[in-house]
Amino acid sequence: MLPALTPQEQRHSEAVAAAIRAALDAAGGWLSFERFMELALYAPGLGYYSAGAVKLGSGGDFVTAPEMSALFGRCLALQCAPLLAATGGEILELGAGTGALAETLLLALDAQGAVPRRYSILEVSADLAARQRARLGTLAPHLRERIVWLEELPRAALEGLILANEVADALPVRRFTLHRGALQELGVALASDGSLMHATRPPDARLVEACRALLGDRTGGLPEGYTSEVSLRLAPWIAALAASLGRGVLLLIDYGLPRSHYYHPQRSAGTLRCHFRQRAHDDPLINLGLQDITAWVDFTRVAEAATDAGLEVSGFATQAGFLSGLGIERLVAAAPDAVTRARLAGEARRLLMPEEMGEAFKVMALTRGHAAPLGGFGLQDLRRLL
């Protein structure tokens, strides 16, 4: 059971539904799931990320690793410091949420005497960018003055680190389903009572080509009704990020799997999930504009896109492997007192345990012109699975 909407939330959701109905009318009665997801998450002033919902943190709909514990950012800082010294010393964070990771990273790097030359943030949500400004505006002037918000990816090649935690899973995806052995695209249409419903239509050439690349000839081995998703935006996004990276590392952290696990016959309902007030469910057509909609990341697709864009896949690990490799246990053990140590130990468990974030989240490092070993990938490397 999901919590009931307040009257104000109900009104907001109806306004988002009206915008989606108008888009359906304009498009002849059917929208791809990608377009629906784009409207539900990013329609100006209405979408989940564009409007004022709390979104992240314990009072919101879901908790990300940097929201859960500063240990996450402090571990990352251990990796960043040598990287910043070896490159041009810049960080670009994509989709910085509430600014939690930026704050922790800057404080931890400052403590190591390794403050980045510049810390840029590219954020598509005006609401979250405003919250980032308010939060990061309280940092000491020597840190605050290094932070800039970008409207688009930098034109001049960045030297340092590009970082994206839980951003790739927020890119709108196309959905497909197998019906009587044939591929169908799953989108959204209007039911006779005016509500939104899932509806199929024959896939267009781009989706057919993408599915062929994912599934090969395996559609015959997949069960009837098999439904999954594919991000056609992922490869262009990686290519754009690669074009912005002169020398250094692009670090992607997200829920995700190598392709053979992602499109396994037993994963017959795909990975699409919605998050509403700390509950995960699988109905994207309710709570419009009030809930997050995500799909896991096909890391094989990321690796292929990165390689095509001239980057090297330099590391792939579970979040647990990555944080352990960076020494999260040492950070916990170094806590100044027993109470703090117990709290940090609890937070570390949530970041590391397989049934929490440890296994579902993966970390991929994509590099250009940076041959030095990367902290965090020493203990584990899943590249063979890609």
Ligand X SMILES: C[S@@+](CC[C@H](N)C(=O)[O-])C[C@H]1O[C@@H](n2cnc3c(N)ncnc32)[C@H](O)[C@@H]1O
Nearer Cβ to ligand X, position 40 or 128? 128
Least spacing, CB of residue 64 vs ligand X, in Å: 3
Subset of 40-59 contacting ligand X (CB under 6 A): 49, 56
Q: Which of 16, 94, 162, 366 binds ligand X (CB under 6 A)?
A: 94
Structure tokens at 9: 């939330």
Residue 25, Cα to own-chain centre: how many angstroms?
31
Q: Which of 161, 167, 230, 348 binds ligand X (CB under 6 A)?
A: 167
Nearer Cβ to ligand X, position 103 or 123? 123
Q: Does 295 bind ligand X (CB under 6 A)?
A: no
Least spacing, CB of residue 54 vs ligand X, in Å: 12
Consecutive H or E run containing 230: strand 227-230
Q: Which of 61, 90, 103, 123 binds ligand X (CB under 6 A)?
A: 123
Q: Which of 90, 103, 166, 254 binds ligand X (CB under 6 A)?
A: 166
Closest by CA to 85, choosing from 148, 158, 157, 159, is 159
Exposed/middle/buried for residue 225 (C-beta within 10 Å: 0-12, 13-18, 19+): exposed
Asked if residues 109 and 120 have their Cβ atoms less than 8 Å apart, the reply is no
Closest by CA to 341, choosing from 352, 331, 350, is 331
Q: Does 60 bind ligand X (CB under 6 A)?
A: no
Subset of 124-163 contacting ligand X (CB under 6 A): 124-125, 128
Least spacing, CB of residue 48 vs ligand X, in Å: 9
Start-end of H helices in the chain: 7-26, 33-42, 65-68, 70-86, 100-111, 126-136, 141-144, 205-215, 234-244, 259-262, 299-308, 319-326, 328-333, 338-352
Q: Which of 47, 73, 89, 97 binds ligand X (CB under 6 A)?
A: 97
Q: Which of 34, 67, 185, 298 binds ligand X (CB under 6 A)?
A: 67
Stretch that binds ligand X, among 77-85, 92-100, 310-318, 367-375 (CB under 6 A): 92-100
Nearer Cβ to ligand X, position 139 or 170? 170
For the chain, report the end-to-end CA distance as a whole number of angstroms: 37
Structure tokens at 31: 């929208």
Structure tokens at 183: 């591929």
Q: What distance in Å separates the CA atoms of residue 335 and residue 251, rounded to the nearest whole number?
A: 27
Nearer Cβ to ligand X, position 280 or 333? 280
Nearer Cβ to ligand X, position 40 or 215? 40
- Measured between alpha carbons, how far is residue 66 from residues 104, 124, 138, 253 in Å? 8, 19, 18, 11
Asked if residues 286 and 305 have their Cβ atoms less than 8 Å apart, the reply is no
Asked if residues 76 and 326 have their Cβ atoms less than 8 Å apart, the reply is yes
Stretch that binds ligand X, among 62-70, 73-81, 307-315, 359-367 (CB under 6 A): 62-70
Nearer Cβ to ligand X, position 105 or 386? 105
Q: Does 71 bind ligand X (CB under 6 A)?
A: no
Nearer Cβ to ligand X, position 75 or 122? 122
Q: Does 254 bind ligand X (CB under 6 A)?
A: no
* Total binding residues toward ligand X, as defined by CB under 6 A: 20
Other Cβ atoms closer than 10 A to 224: 10
Crossing angle between the packed helical segments 100-111 and 70-86, to the nearest 10 degrees: 60
Least spacing, CB of residue 253 vs ligand X, in Å: 8
Stretch that binds ligand X, among 20-28, 93-101, 280-288, 313-321 (CB under 6 A): 93-101
Least spacing, CB of residue 374 vs ligand X, in Å: 20
| Residues at the contact surface with ligand X, assessed by CB under 6 A | 49, 56, 64, 66-67, 94-97, 100-101, 122-125, 128, 165-167, 170
